[in-house]
Structure 1
């Protein structure tokens, strides 16, 4: 058996017990480590030198990647990830890992031996307990929208209250985390908020009331996409809609500006259908 190939095909970082179970001798393993074919993140683990550095770090620290760090690794919509989020086993002692957020909660779904990345359901629970409601809901909807999580499996779990509350709020309609965040932050208006509905041949990001359209630009709104958006905005206005178009940074870093624009439009009655 080619040790390097075996480790690489099993994620690049594995418990050394997996090799012993396949009758790899201690001598052969030692030779592979001395020659640099394999490296040892910590006692009981081996890795190929080209393995994912984050997995090597997790093995070296004796933790499992979870919460928003795992959401980012799974390609889900994550607002911000200023710190590394990991889960530690209860027997590790409640000493936080420097430079990381360590979660100690007992997982709802058991983690298989040798896991360095959490189960998706555990990750979503950690997100619900750790992140603000709007950012957490954006991740939950992203997980369900992309098929990473199954809503029926989540409903069958004994979820803690924050996670159960998020499950009651998730919808399949928002096309991105930015739209989810906008909906959560504008609910206090008490107006109908309808994401991703068709008007004039295209979807709009959010319709507030009857006539107020909030369009949120991501990084792809340039070139031909921008031209198409401008044409659609013009068509919306010709049909009597009021359009507010904002960018990613405004939503993420300057939400009060966006909220002020919406409040001014609502105060002027621009969300109502003309009588």
Structure 2
């Protein structure tokens, strides 16, 4: 393996790897040492090397002997993470030193065995750790985001030996929410004691949330502009002509002004607007 092939192989593995894996791929010890000496590779710690421009999070994980986990791994996967206070990593129980001062370290055994070369937890472990670590709402947002993106399935998760917190989330989570906001609304409104259905097709299009039989709640994201906005307004009009009541709210209102949104919906239910005429 020449230097060009060595760099290409490293990039395919994320830019950080064990020297033993490099050797198994065909790089001689001399080639690896030469790459380190010339700066083509950086020594992360004993047995690990990285490209100079490798992902800093992966480099840090290799340096400390941990894997990126929980909400940090969820963020890397593009899942809905409401807040990340500090890096979250996982280590084997009774493992050696870990960056406890700068990260939240999860020490429990993984639901799915981790490959020794892995630097990021697999999705099933991510969800189990999120269930242990996070409050119900942010955890459910991440679970439903993963199911929606088909990164795993309820069937796969259901066959795992899940701890109680993860089993409770498995029982709740469904792949219907297009965004974290659509997960949050039915969770926050369940106390009303009325049917709440997500992504129900009404008059040719799905609505974000159908409360009871006739109250529609729509959530506007950043893409609700121009042609999309005009289409939304037209659909709202058709809904109202067919006896539905529509409450349309924005991302900012749900996240930053929930009492106002809650008040609108609760008042509409109090007036019976969720009932069919």
1:272 paired residue among 260, 271, 275: 275
Q: Which residue of 2 aligns with 1:35?
A: 38
2:144 paired residue among 141, 145, 156: 141
Equivalent residues in 2 for 1:225-240, closer than 5 Å = 225-240=228-243
1:178 has 2:202 as partner: no
* Counterpart-to-counterpart distance in 1, 2:85 and 2:242: 43
For structure 1, list consecutive stretches of 5 or more residues without a partner in the other structure: none
Cα 1:260/1:94, change in 2 over 3 Å: farther
CA offsets per residue over residues 23-42 of structure 1, 9 Å max, x none?
64544323211211011222
Q: State TM-score, norm by structure 2.
A: 0.92
1:109 has 2:135 as partner: no
Contact 1:128 1:166 in 2 (8 A): yes
Secondary structure, aligned partner of 1:112:
coil
Secondary structure, aligned partner of 1:149:
coil
Runs of 4+ deviating beyond 6 Å: none
Segment drifting more, 190-199 vs 262-271: 262-271
Cα 1:190/1:99, change in 2 over 3 Å: same
Contact 1:38 1:47 in 2 (8 A): yes
Q: CA deviation at 1:245?
A: 1.0
For structure 2, list consecutive stretches of 5 or more residues without a partner in the other structure: none
* Counterpart-to-counterpart distance in 2, 1:223 and 1:66: 39
1:80 has 2:56 as partner: no
Q: CA deviation at 1:229?
A: 1.0
1:15 has 2:15 as partner: no
Cα 1:75/1:95, change in 2 over 3 Å: closer
Q: Which residue of 2 aligns with 1:160?
A: 163
RMSD of aligned C-alpha atoms? Answer: 1.9
Contact 1:94 1:104 in 2 (8 A): no
1:193 has 2:193 as partner: no
Q: Which residue of 2 aligns with 1:57?
A: 60
Equivalent residues in 2 for 1:246-265, closer than 5 Å = 246-265=249-268
Secondary structure, aligned partner of 2:255:
helix
* Counterpart-to-counterpart distance in 1, 2:46 and 2:55: 18
Tell me the number of residue pairs that the alignment of Structure 1 and Structure 2 aligns: 274
* Counterpart-to-counterpart distance in 2, 1:145 and 1:108: 21
* Counterpart-to-counterpart distance in 1, 2:175 and 2:93: 36
